[in-house]
Amino acid sequence: MTAPAVCVLGLGLIGGSLLRAAETTGRRAFGATKSGADAEQARADGFDVLPTVDAALARAAELDALVVVSVPLPAVDEVLRAVNRVAPRCRLTDVVGVKAPVLDAVVRLAPNARYAGGHPMAGLAASGWAVGDGRLFEKAAWMVSVDEGVDLQVWADVARLALDVGAFVVPATADDHDAAVARISHLPHLLATTLAAVGADGGPLSLTLAAGSFRDGTRVAGSRPELVTAMCEGNKVALLTVLDDALGRLGAARGSLASTGSIGVTVRAGHQGRGALDEFEPPELIADLAAPGILATLRELGRRGGRVTGLADTRSAGGPA
pTM for the model: 0.93
What band does 316 get if pLDDT is binned at 50, 70 and 90? very low
pLDDT tens for each residue of 62-86: 999 999 999 999 999 999 999 999 9
Residue 47's pLDDT band (cuts 50, 70, 90):
very high
Q: Which fold has domain 178-251?
A: 6-phosphogluconate dehydrogenase C-terminal fold (1.10.3660)
Spatial separation of the C-alpha atoms in residues 116 and 122, rounded to whole Å: 19
Q: Domain coordinates of the chain in residue numbers? A: 6-172+281-313, 178-251
Q: How confident is the model over 292-302, as pLDDT tens digits? A: 999 999 999 99
The CATH number given to 6-172+281-313 is 3.40.50.720
Closest C-alpha among 38, 65, 39, 61 to residue 50? 39
Residue 92 has pLDDT above 50, yes or no: yes
Distance CA 191, CA 223 (A): 13
> 303 and 282 in contact (C-beta within 8 Å)?
no
Per the prediction, the chain carries an average pLDDT of 95
